[in-house]
């Protein structure tokens, strides 16, 4: 009986985890007019988005765990010196938007980490990702708007 309890406790513990959300950017082709078409997402839970479909990208996160946003150069072989840096995550001020993270704004220099609240709240939190793309030595800032939801 003890072995079964230990196994069950381990399984429950292993089910909650931090979530890493990766923003993939085609750095050579991006500009302010085509930012949605030149970017896509994937997360550590297996969720993905196609370019241009960020409003439907939803990442499930666990209570009292961390969400880590990071950037990735999508065309790295052709542009090995390019860089994608996540600089800010900000809750969108829209009616009905949930507050799933402990703060409304988180900042960073390359990646951004945010803590999920301890209490379950049903619904989605829409947020903005601010990021900087450096291509051929020139840096430009961008913003896109995906969502998160508490995993239940």
**Quick check: helix, strand or coil at residue 54?**
helix
Residue 2 has a CB neighbour count (10 Å cut-off) of 6
- When pLDDT is averaged across residues 53-66 and rounded to a whole number, the result is 87
User: Model confidence at 103, in pLDDT bands (50, 70, 90)?
Assistant: confident
Cβ atoms of 61 and 116 closer than 8 Å:
yes
pLDDT of residue 44: 95
How much is the pLDDT for 12? 45
Residue 5 has pLDDT above 70, yes or no: no
Give the max Cα distance, the chain.
62
Confidence of residue 9 (pLDDT cuts 50, 70, 90): very low
Identify the residue with better confidence: 65 or 146. 65
Q: Are the beta carbons of 41 and 130 closer than 8 angstroms? A: no
Measured distance CA(142)–CA(105) in Å, rounded: 16
**pLDDT value at 48 more than 60:** yes
Alpha carbons 143 and 44: distance in angstroms, whole number = 22
């Amino acid at each position: 009986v003890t072995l079964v309890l230990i196994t069950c406790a381990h399984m429950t513990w292993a089910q909650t985890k931090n979530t890493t959300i990766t923003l993939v950017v085609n750095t050579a082709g991006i500009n302010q007019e085509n930012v949605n078409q030149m970017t896509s997402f994937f997360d550590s839970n297996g969720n993905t988005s196609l370019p241009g479909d960020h409003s439907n990208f939803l990442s499930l996160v666990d209570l009292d765990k961390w969400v880590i946003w990071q950037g990735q150069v999508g065309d790295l072989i052709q542009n090995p010196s390019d860089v994608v840096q996540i600089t800010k995550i900000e809750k969108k001020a829209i009616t009905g938007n949930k507050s799933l993270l402990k703060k409304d704004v988180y900042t960073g220099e390359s990646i951004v980490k945010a803590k999920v609240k301890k209490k379950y709240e049903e619904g989605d939190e829409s947020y903005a990702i601010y990021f900087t793309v450096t291509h051929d030595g020139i840096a430009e800032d961008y913003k896109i708007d995906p969502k998160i939801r508490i995993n239940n």
